[in-house]
Amino acid sequence: MYRPRNDPAPLSSAFLKLPDTLLLVFNKEGRLNMISDAWVEALGYDLGELEQHCFFDLLYEDDRAECQERLAKMSEEAPTQRFSSRCYRKEGGYLGVVWNLSFEAESGLFFASAHETAVHLSPEEPHLPDVFVDGLTGLPNRSLFLDRLEHTFRRAERRQEMQFAVLHCGLDRFKVINHSLGHRMGDMLLTSVANLIRNTIRPTDMVARLAGDEFGILLEDIRDVSSTLHVVTRILQKLQLPFMLNEHEVFSTISFGIVVKGEEYQLPEAMLRDANLAMVGAKELGGGAYMVFNKGMHDQAVRRMELEMDLRHALEHNQFEAYYQPIVNLKLGTLAGFEALVRWNHPEKGLISPVEFIPVAEETGMIIPLGRWMLQEACRQLKHWQTTLPGTQDLTVSVNLSCKQVLNAKLLDDVRDALANNGLTAQSLKVEITESAMMQDTERAISLLEQLQAMGIRILLDDFGTGYSSLAYLHRLPIDTLKVDRSFIRHLHEKGTDRHFVETIVHLAQRLQQDVICEGVELQEQADILAAMGVGYIQGFLYSRPVVANEATMLILTGLTPKN
Ligand code: C2E
Ligand code: MG
Ligand code: MG
């Protein structure tokens, strides 16, 4: 319990609920007004002995001057200070702490909460625990955060009912600000955000700078997850006002990942890891949002990690297979070619969709050898059809290229090799790229696509309509065909807006002398509407799902018929 002295301080209830936190209250002369049990325990003195001390007596001599300087700076206008110092322990050595001081002008009292750095320095080791403080923001750093979290874990073991939460926060689009306004402004923004968070949470909670534009918040003694949401809402509300940085108004938002301590967590690192995952999820929602970590997310993350590890060996174990989906000439109802789509036959998990593993392959760089393999395989298969089946000379195959491949210097060699090794003409091969690949490094992508085009390879812009592309720049891109994304086809027969969109694309493509392929055609009704618009090609379940090579051979031999 606290030990109130004669003039009781107006302590907030938040303080009173936390008897085992390092808390002190003292006046301008340093006379101690209240001291929490945790101090008595941490420093090893009796309460009676501590009552004889003034605040400055607790500090290591060399640290006193700085502390006094900091106190002198505190006023109604600047009511908080944070710094580190060492405190004497009765049995020798020091306790390293980071102070979080606030000044209440009305009572003239200082409220000091401290985070123990758990570094019990001996006099032979007279280094300040500055390794625990972030140089830019003055906040505790990641090590101290984890240390404090560890401490909180231990306290929670003793107090079953105690609940606490970790929030992993990341500034949205910080890189853009850093690049457009410069690093100095970036630093100022980080400091401002650090202060904003610090002033929004309770003094007994902790905010730390974990890395770059990422902060961690530890909320102790919360009721349940809703308490954390209050904090998040308060921070987001404050962020609705811009920061004034060097006369620039800078708006910023933060994404939050939230984890409330449960039995599944034995280690602070695990909790922080999951909070980070939830934050990534929140960012994917578009930023300025929060996500609470749950078991589903955890399982998903574990699966992704397993995929990542298994993916490394999938190629050498021949686990990939190319599937082929027909592209139909809508006017003639004939087969124009195939799109090659990769599948992963996982020995334990079964068939895995590219939607799931392509992003992992992109992140790990595996997409380069995998993409090379697909190019080879698709070319080999098409050449096989062309040489063994009559009337297949004009068939083409389209291979998807991820943006990593488009930006890879070796791509041209890979394409040349795939054609040469299989004796396939460049006119038989098409490549599909998405708008996002074009956006990352437009000039470089354009130059590469032009080189492919010069070889005779045709370029398809995939998933058209889902990215950021402005119609205005479409004529600059070396594109032969637009593939309208299936999201515009799905409701084509019900929604006028989708019909108008597709119509506009068809007109535009005609003007630019580009072909149009509509993806995801499942119904005859949709095919009829597209035919009436003058769309040249369609692809979708109406004619066939993607199938293995043998089944594709059957489709070539028997011809295509719509399914309904
Ligand atoms: P995508 O290139 O847009 O491929 C079309 C996707 O739509 C395929 O999904 C196909 O199965 C699906 N689809 C086709 N017709 C219909 C339909 O009528 N209804 C519905 N609901 N879906 C239809 P899939 O095979 O799962 O591939 C998904 C995405 O994965 C592809 O989208 C492509 O972006 C990527 N991908 C597939 N194979 C490769 C590859 O070899 N390399 C790279 N980089 N990406 C690939
Ligand atoms: Mg595609
Ligand atoms: Mg597509």
pLDDT digits (tens, 9 = 90+) for 142-163: 988 998 898 889 888 888 788 8
d(CA 100, CA 79): 11
Q: pLDDT per residue over 504-513, tens digit each?
A: 888 888 888 9
Instruction: Check residue 138 and give its pLDDT.
Output: 80
CA of 250 to the centre of ligand 2 (A): 39
Strand partners, 482: 461, 516
Torsion of CA 16, 17, 22, 27, to 10 degrees: -10
Task: Give the residue from 505, 359, 507 showing the smallest Cα distance to 519.
Answer: 505
Ligand 3: centre distance to CA 303 (Å)? 25
106-116 tens-digit pLDDT: 788 888 877 76
399-423 per-position pLDDT tens digit: 999 989 998 889 999 999 999 999 9
Strands of 165-171's sheet in order across: 206-211, 214-219, 165-171, 254-260, 290-292
Across the strands, what pairs with 133? 140
Can you give the pLDDT at residue 274?
Answer: 92
pLDDT tens-digit series, residues 261-316: 888 888 999 999 999 999 999 998 888 989 999 877 777 777 888 898 999 999 99
- What would you report as the CA-atom Rg of the chain, rounded to the nearest whole angstrom? 32
pLDDT higher than threshold 90 for residue 246: no
What does the block give as tokens for 252? 């910023």
Question: What span, in angstroms and rounded, lies between the C-alpha atoms of 116 and 86?
Answer: 10
What is residue 388's predicted lDDT score, i.e. its pLDDT?
Answer: 97
Strands of 94-104's sheet, edge to edge? 32-35, 22-27, 109-116, 94-104, 80-88
Measured CA to CA, the distance from residue 24 to residue 114 in angstroms comes to: 9
Q: Residue 252 phi/psi, 5° resolution?
A: -145, 150
Domain 142-293 architecture? 2-Layer Sandwich (3.30)
Q: How far apart are CA 68 and CA 194, in angstroms?
A: 24
- CATH architecture of the domain with residue range 318-558: Alpha-Beta Barrel (3.20)
DSSP alpha helix (H) spans, 59-161? 61-73, 142-158
23 and 17 Cβ atoms separated by less than 8 Å? no
Question: DSSP letter at 6?
Answer: S
Residue 467: what pLDDT? 64
The vertex-265 CA angle with 217 and 234, nearest 5°, equals: 25
Alpha-carbon distances, residue 438 vs 403, 447, 452 (angstroms): 8, 11, 15
Which ligand lies nearest the alpha carbon of 539?
1
In the predicted model, is pLDDT for residue 490 greater than 50?
yes
Query: Helix 549-558 crosses helix 367-388 at what angle (to 10 degrees)?
Result: 30
* Pocket of ligand 1 contains residue 326 by CB under 6 Å: no
Nearest ligand 1 atom to the CA of 367 is 44
Mean pLDDT of all residues in the chain?
Answer: 86
Sorted by where each begins, the domain ranges of the chain are: 22-124, 142-293, 318-558
Percent of the chain beyond pLDDT 70?
92
Q: What is the pLDDT of residues 462-478, one digit of tens each?
A: 988 876 555 656 778 89
Assigned token pair, 253: 């938002």
Between CA 150 and CA 87 the distance in angstroms is 21
Q: What is the pLDDT of residue 132?
A: 77
Q: Which residues contact 277 (CB under 8 A, 6 or more apart)?
A: 257, 293, 297, 298, 301
Whether 434 shows a pLDDT value over 50: the answer reads yes
Smallest-distance ligand from the CA of 460 = 2
The first and second tokens of residue 211, run together, are: 């890395």
Phi-psi region of 93 (alpha: psi -120 to 50; beta: other; left: phi over 0): left
- Structure confidence at residue 111 (pLDDT): 82
C-alpha to C-alpha distance for 269 and 149, rounded to whole angstroms: 9
Task: Give the dihedral sign, CA 540/542/545/548.
Answer: negative
Structural element, H or E, at residue 352 = strand 350-352
Residue closest via CA to ligand 1's atom 27 equals: 354
Tens digit of each residue's pLDDT (9 = 90 or more) over 192-212? 999 899 888 887 788 999 999
pLDDT at 395 over 60: yes
Residue 394 has pLDDT above 60, yes or no: yes
353 CB less than 6 Å from ligand 1?
Answer: yes
Give the pLDDT score at 469: 55
Cβ 342 under 6 angstroms from ligand 1:
yes
In 49-183, at which residue ranges do the beta strands (DSSP E only) sit? 80-88, 94-104, 109-116, 165-171
Ligand 1 close to Cβ of residue 462 (< 6 A) = yes
User: Do 170 and 255 meet the contact criterion of CB atoms below 8 Å apart?
Assistant: yes
Average pLDDT value for residue range 213-222: 93
Best substitution site from 311, 325, 341, 407 to test ligand 1's pocket, by max atoms within 8 Å of Cβ? Answer: 341
| Distance between Cα 435 and ligand 2 center (Å) | 12
541 CB less than 6 Å from ligand 1? yes
What integer pLDDT is reported at residue 118 of this predicted model?
47
Q: What confidence score (pLDDT) does residue 126 get?
A: 43
- State how far the Cα of 467 lies from the Cα of 118, in Å rounded to an integer: 50
Quick one: pLDDT at residue 472? 59
Most confident segment among 38-52, 120-134, 243-257: 243-257
Is residue 89 very low, low, confident or very high in pLDDT (cuts 50, 70, 90)? confident
- Topology adopted by domain 22-124: Beta-Lactamase (3.30.450)
Over residues 2-38, the pLDDT tens digits come to: 333 443 333 332 222 334 567 788 888 888 888 877 7
The predicted pLDDT at position 526 comes to 96
Centroid of ligand 3 to alpha carbon of 100 (angstroms): 54
